[in-house]
Structure 1
């Protein structure tokens, strides 16, 4: 088992990565608490995930915990869903000793974390990510939140889990598009911080896309290490942590423009990453050689889905991005594979040109 510790000035917790973790979950949860300290687990999940993994989850529990269901999909990651779950928790007798367990992908993880942050002014929770994207990115770092119609994750809080248990067995049941969407977040980790990870994914695409257990475990562990190191250095996103948003400025705009219905998050980030690469090349900040390596690797882990969106609309939607500071748009640009910078002077004209170039490439791939 690989265990990576995320350390910040205020706290630390472990991200455990191994096959079969769900079947030994309850004793692992008990270890998070002092001796004789009681806790009352409540699981938040979706019906399809519960149908696949309930036997594994329940295998180690002395008695069945309360299970609350949340619909699948980004469009359901809204405040109304949080209120509904909170009411269900009250009905189930949840109190300050309740431990929420987020069993699912990024939507369930983000929403459950936010619910834990605000229920009775804060209760503990644990992440049990069931998608690759959640295992390598969204389940760790403490960002929680829900969407507004005008933008993604505009309401949220920093609330770290007690631990993350990433059971790699669950990846075997992922649809191919879900696997690829998660791999795009790992490609991002290589681009922004870890050139060795990028090179590994570039050279071993066939094994990784075939869900080879050893290859996937290596990718997950390396990706988690990147995020843990970055968050440990900048917990509240006041500086370095902003590099994790590479590809997300236009990626989030694409999701909003398509009403969160046409693309998975990792797919939108992949298109946003391509636009960022093209913008960097136009500024002579990134070599053509590295640009081609990045775009070709992203495409290798495709196919990326087509979507309908106007470039001007995408630029307009970036105005609602939560990373804006003092009215300025923050944009993460690659300088080389493994190195990026955050800039605040990207103009609408530059962004429009990059968006148009991205859309042109998308049409050429049809």
Structure 2
């Protein structure tokens, strides 16, 4: 399984109107062909655009693959809710070379609470619809009309964490269920996403940024992995830990801290820099000590903040899939 994690630093990853960095992020993430794509620090507008693009996809399947039409599976009020949401997209299916043309501006719809309420009702109406067959039948047309992520991945979960632009957006090839754990670090209003997919559990997190916040969140993740493996389930964690992994390892060695790392849970960082190369990083966890790091940075600060945790002995590797260009974080890809 390949899992992509990317802290997009409040970029609008589903923007189509503005050719902004967000569109490049969507295209690059889709091109990597991972099984699961996890974004954190997603804008509120991206959350709205996620629903708009999903509804557009349903309309396109209605038109291009009517044998798998989501609308045809609805009756009564659910069909009415669906039609009301679709009407807001202003889909024109006559006198257009593209077959379907959406004339409503998605960015304007995303800023309208009334419009988004209707679009949300339309999405709820098709909540039990499985889009895989329809997407396969209309793949070429979906690719022409939709953001690449939406055209490629049939399953999505958007999590509004009630903090401005701290949201999660998750795309998957396989059905998924998401639950959430509150980060237990005192005063930190952050969440750990628990993703159940394909019989495995994936934890994803954007950890608190203050000195001990990342360290304590890694501890919490390690404990969660131990709990799952104790029940016979495969579990891994990935995220922006906001704690450099070499810094963390040095801290643990210095303090002999009883953490479930090393014997039962292992850190999976990106590959080391070429022999002889190091970078400097000033550690807040080690009270200002400067580290000569052998791992490449995944954030502009110079820290290797984005990495994974797996049960000890698990065959796993982590790569920097996209450099620090579109965001101030690299995208990291875990293969396990």
Q: TM-score range by the shorter chain?
A: under 0.3
Q: TM-score, normalised by structure 1?
A: 0.24
Q: Please identify which structure carries the higher strand content.
A: 2
Q: TM-score, normalised by structure 2?
A: 0.26
